[in-house]
Structure 1
Amino acid sequence: MTWDTVELDTEDGITTITVDRPDRLNALNVATLEALDEALDEAEKRDTRALVVTGAGDDAFVAGADLAYMKDLGVQEAQEYSELGHRVMTKTETFPVPVIAAINGYAFGGGCELALAADMRVASERAVIGQVEVSVGIMPGWGGIQRLARLVDDEVARRLVYFAERIDAEDADQYGLVGDVVAHDQLDDHVHDLAAEIAAQPKYAIRAAKEAFTKVHRTHLDTGLDYEQRLWSGLFDTADQEEGMAAFVEDREPEWES
């Protein structure tokens, strides 16, 4: 299967999914989310022993969701967009073998959420990471708050979201948001070595362990995800959302009403 904005490659039990929109910093529009959804299904059909998710080019992992598309959404349309994003993040999180996010650059908003859905995160020293949605008048809409608060210290998670902080790779490592930070030109090799080591482990033991981890981290999570999704969609009936996204698209500072 082929897609315009997603690449899929499998070799020696390692499947790599690459978001390929470098001209848009790999932002996740509807077509790309749908392609990711299908690529995850295809990866599961293959003899995948470890899955790597990354972004094309040297600048971005995934710079976020597509604000140019989102800025004019109504509540129902936002709900549908959120449902699609949640489906992809949940499918990533529950993929039957370990998933490694190779964070090779910017990972903001939906890109941070995609990384959070992985089992492990490895960052290039150039990586910059953040749940920045508040800066455009909304909040994380694809499970970012639920997963972030389960991964790092609660106050760290709150600060990252409330202040829309963008943190570098070293701070992300200190907070426990990533497991490794490596030189940019060593990222691919390092991630491949990790994936190869996983792929060499007993297949059924790894799958059982992954299922157990998935169960642990999804206990009582669905209620939070559903509530977060409805909160996010409801923000598309606010002046802050309209102004925040318009300002971003128009390359100006927002003028908040609230």
Structure 2
Amino acid sequence: MAHQEVALPLALPSTEKHYMTLSREGPLFILHLHNKDNRFTTEVCKAIIHALQVVEDTFLAQKEPTEMALITVGDGKFFSNGLDVAHAREYIPFMDSYLTMLKKLLTFTIPTVAALNGHAFAGGCMLALAHDYRVMRTERGFMCMNEIDIKAPLHPGMNALLRYKTTPKTLRALVLQGYRFNSDEALAADLVDEICPEKELMATAKKLALKWAPKAKAGIVYRQLKEELSTDTIRLLSVPYNRLESSRL
């Protein structure tokens, strides 16, 4: 079946509910999340998965090895404020959509960069960590897992992602202390790869994405290598939420 070209920029999930925009600048795809504080609902997660599929289909349709990378950025003072807890409590299958989104991003076919324009809390922190690289603004914003303070457990796959992406000391601070890492602390803890002023955020993210975009020329091997690096995390992210003893968030 021939690849169907999708017109960009693309409003997602629809023009009526324009929560995010997927655009392209040469070899770079940019997913701009701009729905208030970018909390995750089933609809939002499925829209991100759709955006990722559009990018992946475009990449796989190339006849020659191609440089390509994806940047995800938020809006205003939030990269993402995490899960819409009310929605997650009312609609338990939501968690499966959220976990599928994390897994697809973690194993994505091309290099990915999260541009942290502001706070990345809880589920938003997880979204950032699912990317290959992270750039964080210096003037304001924290990376934080606040489940300890809101008395919410973490799915095994989310814990696995944190273990995969952090050191034991940083993991303890994130999960058991709910510590809020500012940009300097996040850089020192290897939670992010670069920090910069807000006005330089996208330029820095694009420079980093362009640096690693040539690795996409490995084709499906890039994804295969990522999958091998994160085998245990993928397995635990694939545990259906209904199989857990408690569905309480």
Q: By the TM > 0.5 criterion, same fold?
A: yes
> Paired residue for 1:45, among 35, 45, 57?
57
Is structure 2 residue 15 aligned with structure 1 residue 2?
no
Is structure 2 residue 26 aligned with structure 1 residue 12?
yes
* Alpha-carbon spacing, 1:122–1:231, altered in 2? closer, same or farther (3 Å): farther
> Paired residue for 2:173, among 152, 159, 171?
159
Aligned residue in 1 for 2:112: 99
Aligned residue in 1 for 2:62: none
How far apart, in 1, do the equivalents of 2:201 and 2:184 lie?
A: 15
Q: Deviations over 1:156-206 (max 9, x none)?
A: 20231112222211111111111111111111101111122333x264236
After TM superposition, the structure 1 = structure 2 runs for residues 113-124 of structure 1, keeping only pairs within 5 Å, are 113-124=126-137
After TM superposition, the structure 1 = structure 2 runs for residues 20-59 of structure 1, keeping only pairs within 5 Å, are 20-22=34-36, 25-47=37-59, 49-56=68-75, 58-59=76-77
- 1:207: how far off? 5.2
Query: How many matched pairs?
Result: 227
* Alpha-carbon spacing, 1:67–1:185, altered in 2? closer, same or farther (3 Å): same
CA contact (8 A) 1:101 1:120 kept: yes
CA contact (8 A) 1:50 1:198 kept: yes
CA contact (8 A) 1:34 1:84 kept: yes
Q: Aligned to 1:2, what secondary structure does the other structure show?
A: strand
Aligned residue in 2 for 1:62: 80
* Alpha-carbon spacing, 1:223–1:42, altered in 2? closer, same or farther (3 Å): closer
Alignment TM-score, normalising by the size of structure 1: 0.79
- 1:52: how far off? 0.5
How far apart, in 2, do the equivalents of 1:203 and 1:64 lie?
A: 29
* Alpha-carbon spacing, 1:231–1:217, altered in 2? closer, same or farther (3 Å): same
* Alpha-carbon spacing, 1:90–1:225, altered in 2? closer, same or farther (3 Å): closer
How far apart, in 2, do the equivalents of 1:119 and 1:217 lie?
A: 12
CA contact (8 A) 1:14 1:50 kept: yes
What amino acid is aligned across from residue 32 of structure 2 in structure 1? T
RMSD value, Cα:
2.3
After TM superposition, the structure 1 = structure 2 runs for residues 184-223 of structure 1, keeping only pairs within 5 Å, are 184-199=198-213, 201=214, 203-205=216-218, 208-218=221-231, 220-223=232-235
Aligned residue in 2 for 1:143: 157
Q: Aligned to 1:87, what secondary structure does the other structure show?
A: helix
User: How much identity, in percent, do the aligned residues show?
Assistant: 22
CA contact (8 A) 1:115 1:121 kept: yes
Alignment TM-score, normalising by the size of structure 2: 0.82
Q: Deviations over 1:208-239 (max 9, x none)?
A: 34531331122x33443356956877151xxx
- 1:113: how far off? 0.7
Gaps of 5+ in 2: 1-9, 13-17, 60-66
How far apart, in 1, do the equivalents of 2:58 and 2:31 lie?
A: 13
What amino acid is aligned across from residue 117 of structure 2 in structure 1? N
After TM superposition, the structure 1 = structure 2 runs for residues 229-240 of structure 1, keeping only pairs within 5 Å, are 229=241, 234-236=246-248
Aligned residue in 1 for 2:3: none
Is structure 2 residue 108 aligned with structure 1 residue 90?
no
How far apart, in 2, do the equivalents of 1:227 and 1:193 lie?
A: 36
* Alpha-carbon spacing, 1:81–1:49, altered in 2? closer, same or farther (3 Å): same
How far apart, in 2, do the equivalents of 1:29 and 1:213 lie?
A: 27
* Alpha-carbon spacing, 1:173–1:233, altered in 2? closer, same or farther (3 Å): farther
CA contact (8 A) 2:39 2:84 kept: yes
How far apart, in 1, do the equivalents of 2:244 and 2:182 lie?
A: 26
